[in-house]
Amino acid sequence: MPISLRWKRPAPLDVLAPAMQWGRFCTWIKAVLERPQLLRNRERAWKIYAGVHDTLKTSEPVGCPNDGLARFADHILQAHCAKPVRYLEIGAWQGHSTAFVYRILSGDVQITVVDPFVEYAEIGDGIMHHAQEVFSANMKAMHAEDKVRVLKGRSVDHLPSLIESGEQFDIICIDGSHATLDVLLDAVLCWRVLSSGGLLIFDDYWYRRPDLGAGYRPKLAIDAFVGAMSHEIAVLDVARQVFLRKK
Ligand SMILES: C[S@@+](CC[C@H](N)C(=O)[O-])C[C@H]1O[C@@H](n2cnc3c(N)ncnc32)[C@H](O)[C@@H]1O
C-alpha cells in the first residue's frame, strides 16, 4: 500500500464512533448536573403517559416515572417542528408509543406506522395475536384514527416506496426488528425520508439476545451508522433510547 494511503485508514476512535461516546458522556453529565430539570420533565412526561396508558387497551404494565419517558417527550417537544408534525414509526405493535406521541403533540400530527403485525423471531407465541386489531382499537380510543396511516409489512418493503415518492418526516422512531442488519437498514432508509433538522429516535440501544445468536445488537448498527454519517448528525442523547438530529 502506498505510504500516502496508510494514513487514510480509519483511526481506532472512528471504529468506536466517538460521537456516540461523547453523546453518552453528555447524557450522563446532564442527568447529574441538570437533575432538577430532568425531574420536572419526568413529571410532565408521566402525566401524559399515565393518561395514555389509562386510555389504551394493553397488556403492558404501566411502569413508573423515569428519565427515558422524560427524554422522549422532551426531545419531541424541543424538535419545534412545523404543525402538523409528520411522524413515522417503524414497529408499532399495539400503539403505545404512537399514542404517546399523539398526546405529546396534542393531536397536531400526521402519523405513519409500518408493521407486519405477524409473529417474528424475537417474541413468544401469541404476543402478536390480534396486534393490528388492538392497534386500531387503541387509535380509536385516542380519537386518533383519522391521523394514522398504517403500512402493513416490513420496513424494508415500504421505505423504498416512501423514498421514491419523496415523502419526508419530521420525527422518526425506529422500534421494529432488533436484528443488527435490520436496524442498520432502517437507519439508512429512514435517513433518506428524515427532513433536514428532523429527529431520529432509536429504541433499545442496549438490546441483546444471546439466545438468538450474535445477530441482535442494535448498538452495533447504531454506532456504525453514526460513525459513517457523523458529518450529518448531532447526537442529542444516548441512553436506552438514542436521539439524533439531522443537521
Ligand atoms: C418492540 S415492538 C414495538 C413496540 C411499539 N413501538 C410500542 O412502543 O409499543 C416491535 C414491533 O416491530 C414489528 N416489526 C418486526 N419486524 C419488523 C420489520 N422488519 N419492519 C417493521 N416492523 C417490524 C413487530 O411486529 C412489533 O410490532
- What is the domain partition of the chain in residue ranges? 16-246
Angle, helix 67-78 to helix 35-55, in steps of 10 degrees = 90
CA distance 196 to 160: 19
Coil/strand/helix, residue 198: strand
- Percent residues over pLDDT 70 in the chain: 94
- Is 105 close to ligand 1, i.e. is its CB under 6 Å away? no
- Cis preceding-peptide flag for 84 (omega within 30 of 0): yes
pLDDT in tens, 137-190: 999 999 999 999 999 999 999 999 999 999 999 999 999 999 999 999 999 999
Give residue 13 CA to ligand 1 midpoint distance, Å.
32
**Which of residues 63 and 84 earns the better pLDDT score?**
84
Reported as a pLDDT band with limits 50, 70 and 90, residue 28 is very high
Least confident of 79-83, 160-164, 241-245: 79-83
CA distance 29 to 23: 10
Q: How many CB atoms lie within 10 A of CB 237?
A: 21
Protein residue whose Cα sits closest to atom 16 of ligand 1: 177
On whether the pTM is more than 0.75, the answer is yes
Q: Are 226 and 13 in contact (CB under 8 A)?
A: no
- Is 132 close to ligand 1, i.e. is its CB under 6 Å away? no
Class of domain 16-246: alpha beta
* Direct distance between the N- and C-terminal alpha carbons of the chain, in angstroms, rounded to an integer: 35
- Is 116 close to ligand 1, i.e. is its CB under 6 Å away? yes
- Is 177 close to ligand 1, i.e. is its CB under 6 Å away? yes
Return the C-alpha cell found at 2: 502506498
Tell which atom from ligand 1 comes closest to the C-alpha of 204.
1
